[in-house]
Amino acid sequence: MADNARAKRLADLIREVVAQKLQRGIKDPRLGSHVTITDTRVTGDLREATVFYTVYGDDEERNAAAAGLESAKGILRSEVGRAAGVKFTPTLTFVMDALPDTARAIEDLLDKARQSDEKVREASAGAKYAGDADPYRKPDEADETDDTAE
């Protein structure tokens, strides 16, 4: 089992090699400039690598990019093996990164919260407190309940 630092270095190398090869070496039109490699994770035994990517575009372009990455998996693995110089080149698995969708959902929720806050702010614009301005008793005031208890 390799240490975590070695797995991290290999993951970083895989991310860089795959990104450079996608940008310059692969002529597949499905993998144009709209595919971005966001993260790479390698298992502790350095046998499997998961490459996370995002695609700028609609669902059709995402599906085409996924098919393009699957077809280019062998070439990309060969490049990783050449650059890494390890005994066993890790197998590559490409996974669509959910980060942009999650960020979009969080932004939508924050917008809803801002709108709700604005409605509450508008509703409370002319509101007054219920009761006196100072609802607390002063020490010099007589307490009626203490007189009856004695």
Residue numbers of the domain that contains 32: 2-98
Sign of CA dihedral 116, 117, 118, 122: positive
Burial of 148 (0-12, 13-18, 19+ CB in 10 A): exposed
Structural domain includes residue 137:
no
Residues 55 and 99: beta-carbon distance below 8 Å = no
pLDDT value at residue 93: 92
Count of the separate structural domains present in the chain:
1
Question: Residues 58-97: pLDDT tens digits?
Answer: 888 888 888 888 888 888 898 898 888 888 989 999 998 8
Nearest CA-CA partner of 9 in 54, 37, 49, 69: 49
Structural domain includes residue 149:
no
Q: Model's pTM, two decimal places?
A: 0.68
Distance of alpha carbon 103 from alpha carbon 62, whole angstroms: 18
- Asked whether the predicted pLDDT for residue 145 surpasses 60, the reply is no
Structural domain includes residue 121:
no
Question: Residues 17-68: pLDDT tens digits?
Answer: 998 888 887 887 777 777 888 899 999 888 999 999 988 878 888 888 888 8
Question: Residues 99-113: pLDDT tens digits?
Answer: 878 888 999 999 999
CATH of the domain at 70: 3.30.300.20
